[in-house]
Amino acid sequence: MALIVQKYGGTSVESVERIKNVADRIIETAQQGNEVVVVVSAMGKSTDELIHLAKCISDQPSKREMDMLVSTGEQVSMSLLAMALQEKGYDSISLTGWQAGIATESVHGNARVMDIDPKRITAHLATGKIVIVAGFQGLTEEKEIATLGRGGSDTTAVALAARLNAEKCEIYTDVTGVFTTDPRVVKGARKLEAISYDEMLEMANLGAGVLHPRSVEFAKNYDVPLEVRSSIEKVTGTRIEEEVAMEGNLMVRGIAFEDNVTKVTVHGLPDEMTTLSALFTTLSNSQINVDIIIQNTNGNETTDISFSVDSEILTYTLEVLSQYQDQLKFDHISYEENLAKVSIVGSGMISNPGVAAKMFDVLAENQIKVKMVSTSEIKVSTIVESITMISAIECLHEAFELDARQPVQTV
């Protein structure tokens, strides 16, 4: 008997009708002779609604109380799903994250899973129950509820699959799999049969919203087979695994993008060995995540350093830099808003050095100005103006022949 972990996202359980549909999908899996553990997100946009209620009370609500509040969303969907299964004649029980033995670090709002005690889950499975676990949450060493941040239910599912030695982890969502790019942006986007952990991790980190980066990292570290599937359509999904054969001549597997980027430049820093360390240690200590970095050395023993940040933290970033201006010894700060990041990803790029050149040629031919560049073995990221982001995605998608159609296999 195989153990399967399934995760259903917010859109999959956004209504009573969809919860009943999810129950049917779970029953199909159980009828195939499998033990089933299910992780659920909150219904639809209910987490956003809870956050809105909190903001109506306070502009800066307590992080502890926010975790107490938003963790209730998953408890609603887990109990309703358990009821739906029971109504259809299947023994089921719902468990909160802490009842399921999920231990997290002592960080409210974005905690990491530290350990899972599976005893309660395995005991229920042994009696033939289908176990429903609330995603996105766990318990700290101090017995406080902590949430795992946006996309945390993905991480819950993969962590449980790893701890329970599940045969695989199925992520059910409102799309049929992982696409070469967002099909809502490019109509010719093609669903991939498979993608490697490394490629999916890059795609997720670079803005693809199908899977949370932390869940992919967890799957890679613990060799958990993943499959992204539709909770509505009964079609094959996309496998995420260690080694993936090349589909056709695809050196580039997909295109990821992220809007709401700002370029910050710190001018007139001392041109010294410790300058980079001092600057980015200061930002790190203030929990400011930076992305692409460029350094330009001037002729007067000074240097300018540019980096990109999420536009939502621009004001905070400027405040921190201004606070440490005397210590960092820079002249002034400038910034450029309304930017976006467009990235190509593919393990085939390692042995094909012409991929980056082709990317820049295509962007130049389409009059798309590149502001910043970052590369790794399997990706090239560019910062462009937001108004050119869609054009950049479309022309790169076409240039790398990612829109070749393949028939969808039914299951």
Is the pLDDT at 3 greater than 90? The verdict is yes
What average pLDDT score do residues 302-322 get?
96
Model-level pTM?
0.83
Give the model's pLDDT for residue 365: 97
What average pLDDT score do residues 388-410 get?
80
What single letter denotes the amino acid at residue 224?
A: V
Could you report the per-residue pLDDT of 58-75, keeping only the tens digit for each?
Answer: 988 999 999 999 999 999
Could you report the per-residue pLDDT of 73-88, keeping only the tens digit for each?
Answer: 999 999 999 999 999 9
118: left (phi over 0), alpha (psi -120 to 50) or beta: alpha
pLDDT bucket at 408, cuts 50 / 70 / 90: very low
Average pLDDT, the chain: 92
Give the model's pLDDT for residue 238: 94
Could you report the per-residue pLDDT of 18-33, keeping only the tens digit for each?
Answer: 999 999 999 999 999 9
Could you report the per-residue pLDDT of 255-307, keeping only the tens digit for each?
Answer: 999 999 999 999 999 999 999 999 999 999 998 999 999 999 887 899 999 99
Is the pLDDT at 248 greater than 70? The verdict is no
Give the model's pLDDT for residue 212: 87
- If 0-12 CB within 10 Å is exposed, 13-18 middle and 19+ buried, where does residue 143 land? exposed
**Which DSSP helix (H) or strand (E) runs through 326?**
helix 325-328
**Rg of the Cα trace of the chain?**
23
Is the pLDDT at 350 greater than 90? The verdict is no
d(CA 265, CA 302): 13
Would strands 332-345 and 254-270 be described as parallel, antiparallel, or unpaired? antiparallel
Residue 381, token pair as written in the block: 């990221």
Most confident of 123-137, 197-211, 249-263, 292-306: 123-137
Is the pLDDT at 243 greater than 80? The verdict is no
Is the pLDDT at 249 greater than 80? The verdict is no
**Which DSSP helix (H) or strand (E) runs through 87?**
helix 72-87
Give the model's pLDDT for residue 26: 97
pLDDT bucket at 404, cuts 50 / 70 / 90: low
Q: Which domains does the chain show, CATH number per domain?
A: 3-174 (3.40.1160.10)
pLDDT > 70 in the chain, percent:
96
241 contacts 197 by C-beta, under 8 angstroms? yes
Residue 112, token pair as written in the block: 């990491």
